[in-house]
Structure formats: C-alpha cells, structure tokens
Chain A
Amino acid sequence: MKSAQVHVNAAPSRKIPGRRGRVWKQMAKRVDLYLMLLLPIVWYLIFHYGPMYGLQIAFKNFNPAKGIIGSSWVGFDHILRFFDSFYFWRLLWNTLSINLFSLLIAFPISILLALIVNEIRSKTFSKILQNITFIPHFISVVVIVGILNVFLSPTTGPINSLIEALGGSPIRFLEEAGWFKTIFIGSNIWQNMGWQSIIYIAALSGVNPQLYEAAKIDGASRLRRVWHISLPGIVPVIVIMLILDIGHFMDIGFEKILLMQNNLNIESSDVISTFVYTTGILKGEYSYTAAIGLFNSVINLILLLLVNRFARKVSETSLW
C-alpha cells in the first residue's frame, strides 16, 4: 500500500519540483511514524469499518454458509417489516422516552451539583462532597443492578421496610413496568452525577473572579451571582456536553437496561438495543436486527447533526 502511494506521488514530482515533492520527502523522512500507525489504522479498518461494511446484511438475507457477499439482496424488506411490527412503536417510545427523561432530569442535576460544589466555602467540605459523589461511578453495572435488587427487595430491602413501617404495603419496584423508568433514571443519577459534574467544576474554576467582585459591589446576591456569572461562564461546556450526550442518545444505558429487564417490566424496558440483542444474538435473526440497529444509528446520527448545527447557530459552540 505504501509503495503504491510512493509511486503516485513520486511520478509527477519529477516534472514539477514543488509542493508535492516536498510532501513526499516529508513522508519518506517519517516512515517510522507511519510504521507506528500501521497497527492502529489496520485495527480501525477491521474493527470499525469492517462492521460498517458488514452492515450490508441489513439489506440482504444473511446466510452464514454463503457469507456476507454471497447472500441475496432483499432491499428494504427487513426495515419495512420492523416498521410494520406490533412492537415498533413500543420500542421506539421506550428508547426515546428513557433517553429524553434522562436528558431532562439527569443532565441538569450534574450542573446543579457543580454549582453547589462551587458555592461551598469550606475547601475540605467541597472536596469531601466531590470525592463521595464520584464513588458510585466506579461500581460495575452488574453490581449496581445487584444493589438495586437487594435494596428494593419487597421482603428484605430497607426501602420496603420503611414503607411497611409507615403503614404501606411493599412495592415490587423491579417487577412493575410503571416503576422501571423512574428506577433506571434515578439510579443513573445516583451513579453518575458526581462524575459528570467534574467537567463543570473545572469550567467554573476558570470563571474570572473579578466578575464576582464587581457583582458583589453592585449589590448582587449570591443567587444572582450564580445565575448571572457562574452559569453563563460554563455555557460553552454545557453545550458541548449536551451535543456529546445526544451523540449517544439512542444507545445510552443499554447494558444496564438489559440487566434490569424481566418479563414483568418488559412493557416499559424493551428498547431497540435490547431487542437487537435478544432477537439478533440469541435468536440468530442477524439480517433483521442489523437493519434495526442501522435504523437506530441513523436516527442517532441525524439527531447529532441537527443539535450540532443548532448549537453552532445559537451559541457559536459546536463540535466541528
């Protein structure tokens, strides 16, 4: 591959000794750098672009014996079948609503936490608050769901003990569809608010202290200073984080949802990505679920492009 490039670049450079020749010389001088890159680039081509190439099975009837190329084309059959299925709206609604509620509730909470940390005068206390809220981030999803199970257990969990002590009857939190989203999002907030606040805390520390002094002299209260100085100071970071979050809008939390899912709460816990896993990997309907996965990625990409564009227009901050 390299020698081919050399050939293409070297031929015209003999005629016009200019930019092209210089580039070629530059490249030749740095062969060892390209050598370092060889393995990672090959890896990217195989493990990232390979699956993209494999996505063509979404438009074929994939037959393992014939391979990806040998299988016959069926066009948009799979995706249309998905649109017509009785579970299409349920999957779409669950996927969108879980992520939308997360965005509306969990996203602002980490900003709020950062503002609180920033307003605490005692340095030791703010450090303690930060360090404690980081801890759950490092616990694995399996353990988090395990903790949810024991913590919310209808027979032995402390939450239901409290409900019973107050005269109520125990709630089977993890087996009721109505509770699923609340518990999923609530435990996400519990696990990640501290970690997600780091970046805002860092941004807040970069806000010019003179602004606070000036506002103070003008008689602005603490709350007004938070609202008019701290918050505007971190808007660019908030916008970037929002775009990045939306970049994973459709697949966030999939591994956890899969662990929390059971037959009793499936009504509200069945999302596109868990459906792809159970139907694709477990039941072997590769082509059909590849098409569904593609639908998921495309929506995700469109959302990302829209938000990025919107952010660039409104706030002049964007990913690219």
Chain B
Amino acid sequence: MVKGEISMSKQASISRSPDEKIFDAVIYTIAALIIVIVLYPLIFVVSASFSDPTKVLSGEVWLLPKNISLDAYTNILHNGKIWTGYTNTIIYTVVGTAVNIIMTVLAAYPLSRPDLPGRKVLMVIITLTMFFGGGLIPSYLLVKNLGLLDTMWALIIPGAIATYNLIVMRTYFQTSIPWELQEAAHIDGCSNWRLLLNIILPLSKPILAVMVLFYAVGHWNSYFNALIYIRNEARYPLQLILREILLISQSDAVDANVGLENKVMLAESIKYAVIMISSLPILIMYPFVQRHFVKGVMIGSIKG
C-alpha cells in the first residue's frame, strides 16, 4: 500500500531542460507560499501566547514573541472552568471512543462476512442513513424523550457509529484478512466470537489505530452536541468552555481581583494561551499518528 507520498523515481532519471527548470521553480515557489500561508497564523498564535500581553494588544507581535512572558498561562492555571472542561472532555473522549470502537467492530465484522445471508439488505439499511436523515429537530426530541438530556450519554450514544468508519472497517476486514484463514479456523471448530477476538482483531491493529484516532479527535473537537444537549455547566466539555472564552464573554475567564483595565487586557491575551492549551494534546500526538490518518483515508478510498 502506498504511504501517501509519491515516488518521483519515474522522473528522476530524465535530464532537465530549461523549460523544466522554470516549471520546477514555479512549483517550488507555489509550494513555499502554501507553507507560509498555512503556518503563519499558527506561528502567530504561538508567539502571541508567550508574549507580554501589552505587546500583543498594541499589535507589536507579528511573528516572534516580544518580551517573553508566561502571564497568560499562569492565569489559565487558576481558571477552574478550563480544568473542569478538560477533565470532562477526557472522560467523554475515552468512554465515547471505547463505545465507538466496540459498536463499529460489532457491526463491521459480521457485515464483512461473505457467507452471511441478508448482509446486503442490512448494508442498504445502513448506507441509506448516510444520505438521508431525520434532521436536527427529530434527533433532539428523540434524545430528550429517551431522558438523555444533560447526561454524558447524550454525547456518546447518538453518535455511537459513524457509518463512513463502519464501511472503512468492513472494507479492511474484507480485503486485508484472507478468507481462507477464517474458513480454516471454522473447520478447526473455532466459534465466530473467538475468531473475531483471537484472530481478526489482532490482525486489524492498523485499522483499529486509525479508528481510535478518528473517533477520539472527533470527540475532543466537538462542541455542537454539547451545546444542545448539556445545560449543566459542570458537565461542559472543553470546547464549550473555549467557546465562552474565545467567542462570547470577554472577561469571565480572568481572576476577579484585578482591575477592569487589566481584566480586559488579560481576557484578550488569555485567548492565545487557551487556544494552545486546548490544541496541545492533538498537536503533540500529531507527528506520531499522521501516517495512520493518511492510511485511514486511503483504506476508505477503496470503494466499499
């Protein structure tokens, strides 16, 4: 399987004409420009978060930190809301991802079996939901009627399976695990449950890793379900707290015992640090897992 990068060996052996050099120059210039455009806002946020707030507010920071200071970070340390949100999000992410993986495997494996009568009908029932649904209001009323409002389960159960992920996983089971192996196990008297747990899953570690990552990032970053289903602030996930700090209130997040002027200033400068703190887990994880993400998309690209 290709890893997402293109081998250029097909062109390396060819000698380069002046035309080609111009072409290369253009391509490299565009590529460099894209890198600058993508990175600049990120670098700006990082620099601003480590700068003296007065310098940020006067617009003096534009690339590198000015008068390095950790004021914004120390201020966040004292903010109880952010830590509540952080803890909640970790819980929702861990429990939610576990539920996601169990449910997705339970659906994907039987449906990957060519010898299962009725699987085509079931696949149609499942795939249809990708293209048509009841919409926001009926879903909301359902969750409400089930008594899930204001509980963690409202964020976990309605999204227990992402149909796209199910199809990716099913495709993986079908294409990457030899059917002969499963038949042989059956002849040896292996039950389907044991087959799944002892043979299929150990052989599916790459796709399981991809699924854990897809689902976990989804939970970590989601805010909308919490916005409609969670009322109690003590249960707010991190993204809702972020929304308050970054987009709604100006000065709630800052310690109450500083003057008004300072308060506004700190509220403004704290934003950069909050962005950093909330994105940190994903950005730390990123270099280690990016290969897996690519692989996941590629498996999905094989028509399921």
Q: What is A's interface to B at a CB cutoff of 8 Å?
A: 23, 26-27, 30, 32-34, 36-37, 39-41, 43-44, 46-55, 57, 62, 68, 113, 116-123, 125-136, 138-143, 145-147, 149-151, 155-158, 160-162, 190, 194-195, 198-199, 201-206, 209, 212-213, 216, 221-223, 237, 240, 247, 255, 258-259, 273, 276-277, 280-281, 286, 289-290, 293-294, 296-297, 301, 304
Contacts and interface: CB of A to CB of B under 8 A. Distances in A.
B279 A40 contact: no
B149 to A, nearest CB: 12
Given A54-B134, A138-B217, A32 B193 contact: yes
Contacts of A276: 135-137
Nearest to A213: B10
A40 B301 CA distance: 24
Interface of B: 2, 4-8, 10-12, 14, 19-20, 23-24, 27-28, 30-31, 34-35, 37-39, 41-42, 44-45, 48, 56-59, 61-62, 103, 106-107, 109-111, 113, 115-118, 122, 125-126, 129-142, 157-158, 160-161, 191-193, 196, 217, 220-224, 228, 239, 242-243, 246-247, 268, 271-272, 274-275, 278-279, 282-283, 286, 290, 293-294, 297-298, 301, 303
Contacts of A52: 132-134, 138
B27 A116 contact: yes
Contact of A48 (B31, B133, B242): B133
Contacts of B274: 146
Contacts of B44: 151, 158
B106 A40 contact: yes
Given A133-B34, A135-B38, A221 B118 contact: no
B6 A258 contact: no
B125 A121 contact: no
A44 B34 CA distance: 42
Contacts of B139: 47, 51, 54
A142 B6 contact: no
B129 A126 contact: no
13 contacts: A47-B158, A51-B139, A51-B142, A126-B5, A140-B279, A146-B271, A149-B271, A158-B59, A216-B14, A222-B19, A240-B303, A281-B136, A290-B138
